[in-house]
Amino acid sequence: MAPSKVLAGARVVLPTGIVTDGRVVVEGTRIAGAAPGNEHAEIIDVRDHWLVPGFVDMHNHGGGGASFSGTADDILTAVRTHRLHGTTTLVASTVTDDMDVLVKQAGLLSELAEQGDIAGIHFEGPFISPCRKGAHSAALLRDPDPAEVRKLIDAGRGRASMVTLAAELPGGIDSVRLLAEHGVIAAIGHTDATYEQTVEAIDAGATVATHLFNAMPPLGHRTPGPVAALLEDERITVELIDDGTHLHPAALQLAFHHAGAGRVALITDAMDAAGIGDGRYMLGPLEVEVSEGVARLVEGGSIAGSTLTLDRAFQRAVTVDRLPVEDVVAAISANPARLLGVYDRVGSLEPGKDADLVLLDAGFGLKGVMRRGEWVVDPQLG
């Protein structure tokens, strides 16, 4: 048996709070109780560091120059890229495309989910509003027909985690009901719904707001729209993209404060350029130009996903947005893990769970990443 690893001296963020001079014991692939199980434990001194659970990204289209709409190799490249930035659990998101293309891609993604490379599939589109299409191909959008929604669920072979749709479109409410009945998250997004239509969708079973504020009407005092309905309802978890481009810090803080840390999921919505840099990329069938880290459609200039990685989102949330560390940990690990139904295995540093953890320096820069007991990024500490 491999020696236990004891990470000692860090500030450890647990569901119950922050433990200073804490220790996390790793046995094999799992987190063990406080005492190492054998005497030949490798003690790793992590004083002056933070230890937090591995990040869980429930909305991510790619990275490292590859996308989740690509081949198996592309998918693994994107997964590896995000792992290097602390994301140890990831849901692969598709973008709007022909139904045949999506069905085929769902088959491939379900195989990778079966192998444990990804945690599930998120279909973003094609059932979204032409008025709020963002970086989705207008010609390929369609109304949410429950029969077609069913086709995507089936194509995912039990691995479909979430579908983002505009529930105000014909067939929208029935589709939300169908998703909820099948245990697939119905996420409201790329929507032009009114406040009332959004409330109806939540009552029908929607539980997530896809990148709140982005690709939906803004909050108005006479037309509160989806933002007010989604922020107000305790059944909804709101996704937020904290890259400094998608949201003003005040909007992010407003959402955090109003929903409370238990109802926020920090996501990347990353595309191929994440982990690489500026240049020309494809987002599904559309061409994207990335300049100074901001991805925009070549045609029309819409923001086209982000180049964010969750380590940067974590650091920004604490240092720029001034959110409490334990709230950021909830939003970046525990909440998405709960929503995805994997909190029994990941999402917190508790005995029995997978040894998925991130080591951060005092300034919240990424220093190490461990997944299932193995260093993905070795902090090189003795």
Q: Which residues bind Zn ion (CB under 5 A)?
A: 124, 269
Compute the least distance from the CB of residue 294 to Zn ion, in Å.
Answer: 15
The C-alpha atoms of residue 63 and residue 371 are separated, in whole angstroms, by: 18
Catalytic, out of 192, 269, 272, 321: 269
Q: What is the DSSP string of 301-325?
A: --B--B---HHHHHHHHHHTS---H
| Catalytic site includes residue 154 | no
Indicate the residue among 88 and 96 with the shorter CB distance to Zn ion: 96
Task: List the structure tokens of 236.
Answer: 């909804």
The C-alpha atoms of residue 282 and residue 289 are separated, in whole angstroms, by: 9
**Ranges of H-type helices in the chain:** 72-83, 99-114, 146-155, 172-181, 195-204, 225-232, 249-259, 310-319, 325-329, 335-339
Indicate the residue among 22 and 284 with the shorter CB distance to Zn ion: 284
Q: By Cβ distance, which residue is nearest to Zn ion?
A: 269
Are the C-beta atoms of 168 and 146 separated by less than 8 Å? no
Compute the least distance from the CB of residue 215 to Zn ion, in Å.
Answer: 9
Indicate the residue among 269 and 354 with the shorter CB distance to Zn ion: 269
Instruction: Assign 6 to helix, strand or coil.
Output: strand
Among 5, 57, 13, which Cα is nearest to 29's? Answer: 5
Indicate the residue among 124 and 243 with the shorter CB distance to Zn ion: 124
DSSP 8-state class, residue 330: I
Active site residues: 269
